[in-house]
Amino acid sequence: MTETKLDAAEIARRRKLVFLICDGWNRVPNPDQPQLFGGHDGDDTPERPDCVGEVCTEGYAEPGYTDNEIAVVTGNWNVGPDKEWVPAEMVDPNHADTEAGELLTTGRALELLGVELEWSDEWTSCCDCMKLVRTQPDSYGWKRSYWDTDNGAVCEECVKKDPTDYIEEMVGNDRSCITIDIDLSKHGFVLLQGDLENGFHHGQNADPKVIGKSLRKSGIERYVFVLDSTGQFDISFSVWVDKKQLRKSKRKPAEGLSPSETDGRDVAGDAAKYLRDTSRAISELPPGEGVVVTKPDPDDPSKAKAKRVSNEDFIAGKALDD
C-alpha cells in the first residue's frame, strides 16, 4: 500500500483489524490444513495464530527506533504449513497489492496494514510501559538497553525515572555491569578508572574479578562496572566507586589502578599457546577411530586436551562434553 499520513480514524480501523487477525478472528481455513480454522476441535472459537507473539501499540523503547503509528507485532514469521491464513479482502479490499481470493500469511496481512514486524525471540516488552526493547544484538556494538528483573524487562526510559534499585543490584557485582546511560556522579559514585579492556587482543586483560578483589582489599565494597562499548572481539568498561568509601581508602582517583590490580590472565597469550599445544596433545593420542577434538585444559587454558569421539557423538553435538 502507498504510504500516506493516516488520520486517527484510519489508525483506529487498522488497529482493530490487527487485533482481529492476531486474536484469530476472520480467518479462513488453510487449504492444506483446514483444522487450523477456529478451534482445533472444529468449533468457531477464535484461536491465536501460533506465529504471533506480542502486539504492541506503545512503540519502541529501544534507542534508534522510530515508533510505528499502528502497531508493532512480534512473532515467528517463517512461512510454514502450520501458519494461519487471512483472506486478502480483509486487509486489501481493492486488491492494490493482492489478487482476488488470495490467502495471506498472518505476517503478510499485517504488513499490508502498515504494521512493523519483529522477531519474538529478539524482542520483549517493558513490564512497566509496555514498549518494546531488543533482547538480542543486531550489531557488534549493541548494548542492552533494559534491566532484566524477576518481573520482566524494564526499559531504559523507565529505569532512568528512578535508577536506585538498578544501580544497587550492580553494586559489588563482578559478573554484571551497568549498560544504561546513567550519570553515576549524581548517585554518590566517582569514576576511578576508565578505558579498561577485555578481549582477544594482546594487552586486553582487565578482569572484573581481579578489580573487585583489589578494591575490597582497599576497603571499597561499593563499586560498579559500566559497559562503555562492545566490539567483535573485545569490550571496554570502567569502574566507579562509592565517593565516601574512596575517601576513607586513601586512594586517589587520578592514580587509578595498577595493572596488577586490574589484569587477569592473558587471553590472547593463552590462546596462542593453546593452539601451539594442540599438536602435542593430538600426537599423544593412541591410534583409533572417530573424530579428534581438542579443547583448553580447565586448570590451564594455555594447555590443550585432546580426545577421540564417535562420529555419532560428533554429529549429535557432544564432542566437547566431558
pLDDT tens for the chain, 322 residues long, are 445 688 999 999 999 999 988 887 655 544 444 333 333 444 455 566 778 899 999 999 999 999 999 999 999 988 666 566 788 888 988 889 989 888 888 899 999 999 999 999 999 999 999 999 999 999 999 999 999 999 999 999 999 999 999 999 999 999 999 999 999 999 999 999 999 999 999 999 999 999 999 999 999 999 999 999 999 999 999 999 999 999 999 888 888 999 999 999 999 999 999 999 999 999 999 999 999 999 999 999 999 999 999 999 899 998 888 7
Mean pLDDT of the chain: 89
Cβ burial, residue 94 (10 Å; 0-12/13-18/19+): exposed
What DSSP assignment string belongs to 167-206?
A: HHHHTT-SS--B-S---GGGGTEEEEEEEEEEESSTT-BB
Q: Which residues lie below 8 Å from residue 96, measured CB to CB, with a gap of 6+?
A: 1, 2
Residue linked to cell 488520520: 7
**pLDDT digit string, tens, across residues 2-47:** 456 889 999 999 999 999 888 876 555 444 443 333 334 444 555 6
Kindly provide the b/e burial profile for residues 198-211, where b requires at least 16 CB atoms within 10 angstroms of the residue's own CB.
bbeeeebbbbbebb
How far apart CA 279 and CA 289 sit, in angstroms, is 18
Predicted pLDDT of residue 81: 60
What one-letter code names the amino acid at 235? Answer: I
Read off the pTM: 0.82
What is the predicted pLDDT for the residue at 25? 65
Half-sphere exposure of 45 (CA within 13 A, CB side): 6
Closest C-alpha among 141, 188, 145 to residue 164: 188
- pLDDT recorded at residue 37: 38
Q: Which three cell numbers stand for residue 204?
A: 586486553
pLDDT for 27: 55
How far apart are the C-alpha atoms of 289 and 304, rounded to whole Å?
A: 20
| Residues whose CB falls within 8 Å of the CB of residue 231, separated by 6 or more in sequence, listed in order | 140, 141, 199
